[in-house]
Amino acid sequence: MTFSYEQHDVVASAGPTPSQTVGPFFHYALPYDAGPRLAGAGRAGAITLSGRVLDGEGAPIPDAMVEIWQADEQGQLESVGVHGEVGADGFRNFGRCETTADGGYRFRTVKPGAVQTMDGVQQAPHVAMSVFARGLLRQVVTRVYFDDEPTANATDPLLAAVAPDRRATLTATGGDGGYRFDVRVQGVDETVFLDVFAR
């Protein structure tokens, strides 16, 4: 099979630059050692947030990159710098982790405080997460909520807008000081993905 797409001699229109896949060869440029460590080793209440990224057949995606952005324990979202290690009890709001051969990622972070919507509506604690990979022409975006926040989750406006049988795909499962959150990009139990770009 070969392709032959029509190409016209047109001029670019004004507007946002389109997305293209991150491809398979980003590893020597984007990940960095400190990327998965948002919380320092001595940070009180630090947690792990880990899971796997899986494709439409449930197979691991070993060449994905997961990024998270989240508030600290007090709900603050102010972070300068993404490289270098945070201090022993320090924290930064951004994390990046490439997946391993089994599709796994693992962050050391904290459980975020609650952050309101722009309209001042209270939301349940959540982490914003993006996944980039070969075969994703643009990143998928989701939120990670926490299963030990049933009261806050019950009144969260996004969770309320999601069909009840899909809400669990947005919720990390806690235990042993860590939370587990798998991302299924397609198929059975497909993770709810968000359109955060078109506003």
Least distance (Å) between residue 173 CB and other proteins? 21
Least distance (Å) between residue 194 CB and other proteins? 5
Contact call for residue 12 and other proteins (CB under 8 A)? yes
Question: How many Cβ atoms from other residues are within 10 Å of residue 10's Cβ?
Answer: 6
Three-class SS state of 154: helix
Q: Which of 47, 49, 61, 86 binds other proteins (CB under 8 A)?
A: 61
Give residue 134's Cα distance to chain centre: 16
Positions 102 through 131 that interact with other proteins (CB under 8 A):
115-119, 121, 123, 126-128, 130
Compute φ and ψ for 160, nearest 5 degrees.
-65, -25
Length of the chain: 199
Choose between 50 and 191: whose C-beta lies nearer to other proteins.
191
Choose between 117 and 150: whose C-beta lies nearer to other proteins.
117
Contact call for residue 34 and other proteins (CB under 8 A)? no
Least distance (Å) between residue 176 CB and other proteins? 26
Q: How far apart are CA 137 and CA 44, in angstroms?
A: 39
- Measure CA of the first residue to CA of the last residue in the chain; give whole Å: 39
Contact call for residue 197 and other proteins (CB under 8 A)? yes
Q: Which of 34, 40, 94, 178 binds other proteins (CB under 8 A)?
A: 94
Two tokens, residue 134: 């070969």
Contact call for residue 92 and other proteins (CB under 8 A)? yes
Choose between 71 and 176: whose C-beta lies nearer to other proteins.
71
Q: How far apart are CA 129 and CA 194, in angstroms?
A: 10
Positions 70 through 89 that interact with other proteins (CB under 8 A):
70-71, 77-84
Choose between 57 and 176: whose C-beta lies nearer to other proteins.
57
* Nearest Cα to Cα of residue 37 among 104, 93, 76: 93
Choose between 138 and 176: whose C-beta lies nearer to other proteins.
138
Q: How far apart are CA 13 and CA 167, in angstroms?
A: 39
Positions 137 through 166 that interact with other proteins (CB under 8 A):
137-141, 143, 157-158, 161-162, 166
Q: How far apart are CA 125 and CA 127, in angstroms?
A: 7
